Amino acid sequence: MDATVQSKIDTWLNGNYDDETKNAIKALQKENNETELTESFYKNLEFGTGGLRGLMGVGTNRMNKYTVGMATQGFANYLKKTLGDTEIKIAIAHDCRNNSRFFAETTANVFAANGIKVFLFESLRPTPELSFTIRHLRLNGGVVVTASHNPKEYNGYKAYWNDGGQLVPPHDKNVIKEVEAIKSVDDVKFSGGEYNITIIGKDMDDAYINMVKGLSVYPDVIAKQHDLKIVYTPIHGSGIMLVPKTLAAFGFDNVTIVTAQEKPDGNFPTVVYPNPEESETMSIGLKKAAEINADILLGTDPDADRVGIGIKNHKGEWVLMNGNQTAVLAISYMLEARKAKGIAQPNDMVIKTIVTSYMIDEIARKNNVACYNVLTGFKWIAELIKEKEGKENYIIGGEESFGLMVGDRLRDKDAVSAVAFLCEMAAYEKNKGVALYDKLIDLYIEYGFYYEELISITKKGMRGQEEIAEMMQSYRDNPPAKINRSAVVELLDYDLQQGKNIMTGETWKINLPKSNVLQFKLEDGSKISARPSGTEPKIKFYFSVHDKLDSKEKFDAMLTAHKKRIQDIITDMKLK
């Protein structure tokens, strides 16, 4: 056993930890499970710029009472240092995952023991409601316990600031320093301030739903299409708490819930990954949608910040939209509907991430609406909204990972409002006699046929992290001259904050915070992005190709060509 690992194990066996924890460690020792002990203790679970995420279990590299407590103590220390003698107030929510309620109560108890006023939701709630609550109650911050769409073995802890967005500079790095300064579990105040905790629930639900209802652009169209056939699956998650009520508030009265996935369950018994990006996860919903001849299928992940959408294609087959297609449909609808309604403003803006379809940039440009690109993650969208507040009017934003945020009353991706908004979009097009897939093809003809795919390569454990780092360094040290027989004409390195024209040698500064992302732009217009995940042991590769589409008749052939082009790029880069 590595000496450092053994030292940490000894600390936990001899320190102020509960007997259940110590017995779990002893059981691993008795089994001679050196691999699990090493993985559990070889490092401290990193409090990254978004918080914690990891496997649940004993050890310094796992989600448990002690790692959650130390993270909370560090966050509490930073709040007190920053805000001084003012009364500090925060909100706490959690999703459906195993131990989520326990971790949420642990977090609440630590904050409360530090003299901080806590508003704790009575039971599971969607992440976006936590963001809304911070703004609505004018709190200083918040925490939601969730591992989003990760497998059932994971849990996590996302920290928020007073704008309702996740931590950004300087707060993210400063909180990390405070968390890292907690060297012992004995530094954590686990109890003693329970009187500082207030339980919240229905009143906040009602306020949130009322806010979302105000996002509707065409309630009169919904009234005509109130019986739109909607199938919804919460995938065993927290969306069940608000999505059906929100759809009812919008005026939709023909909603079918996927009963097999209706009940909150942290074991996610019907899926491998509780992620609406996965076709397997949405398969039960697709079957139900086909069975009742629905107009639209929607699914939300465990903490209801991601939304997946299924519609019938031009051949009558049920298909899932990818996150880019969903964002294209939603953003184009928002721009079109606001213009048709006469409420578009000269300073309207949309925001997307650097790995999200550049078709959105083109749509915004042709509609004379500003479109901004930010780093991956809605915290950067939230930060830009704050920066532009009072000067430009944010109306909608999106990212390829199935995230949308309509309006600025909260500051994180919101699948609850997205479900209602996408149903309104479907009603709007149906009222005109247009199917959503046909609308998408029309947009391709008008703005160019952009097609994107994503692959993730998983590298688990200590060695996996090293392999991902080596892959990124190799691309930096030896960038390819050609990919799939097309010359690389631009290299964008967001960690160096530098763009480079490969042909001329010209360089320029990228005015975004540092991020470990590389982008290759090819002579044929293709774009490839490489980015290690901040929440999973994966490196992600994003591929985008585009071309001009002249007619609907040519759509199928071009779709096949786009898919082949991306597969050829993947093969050439030896990623499969």
Q: What is the pLDDT of residues 420-444, one digit of tens each?
A: 999 999 999 999 999 999 999 999 9
The encoded tokens of residue 9 equal: 């194990």
Enzyme catalytic residues: 148
* Per-domain residue ranges of the chain: 1-42, 48-200, 208-217+225-447, 450-572
pLDDT band at 461 (very low <50, low <70, confident <90, very high): confident
- The closest alpha carbon to 233, from 259, 266, 264, belongs to 259
Tell me if domain 208-217+225-447 and domain 450-572 are identical in fold. Answer: no
Task: Using alpha carbons, select from 145, 137, 126 the residue that is nearest to residue 88.
Answer: 137
392: tokens are: 């430009």
CATH of domain 208-217+225-447: 3.40.120.10
Q: Report the pLDDT value the prediction gives residue 435, as an integer from 0 to 100.
A: 96
Task: For domain 48-200, say whether CATH 3.40.50.720 is its number.
Answer: no
What is the phi/psi pair of residue 493, to 5°? -115, 105
Quick: pLDDT tens for 125-167. 999 999 999 999 999 999 999 999 889 999 999 999 999 999 9
pLDDT in tens, 187-234: 999 999 999 999 999 999 999 999 999 999 999 999 999 999 999 999
Q: Supply the pLDDT for residue 537.
A: 78
For position 1, what pLDDT does the model report?
Answer: 81
d(CA 177, CA 170): 11
DSSP state of 87: P
Residue 252: what residue type?
A: F
Amino acid 50: pLDDT: 79
The secondary structure element, H or E, covering residue 493 is strand 486-493
The correct CATH number of 450-572 out of 3.50.50.60, 3.30.70.60, 3.30.310.50, 1.20.1250.20 is 3.30.310.50
Q: Indicate whether 453 pLDDT > 80.
A: yes
Residue type, 502: I
Other beta carbons within 10 angstroms of residue 471's beta carbon come to 17
Q: Could you read off the pLDDT of 503-548 as tens digits, one per residue?
A: 899 999 999 999 999 999 999 999 999 999 876 778 999 999 999 9
Q: What is the pLDDT of residue 350?
A: 98
pLDDT at 327: 97
Q: Strand locations in 364-484, DSSP E?
A: 370-374, 393-399, 403-406, 449-458, 482-483
Per-residue model confidence as pLDDT tens digits over 29-50: 999 999 999 999 999 998 877 7
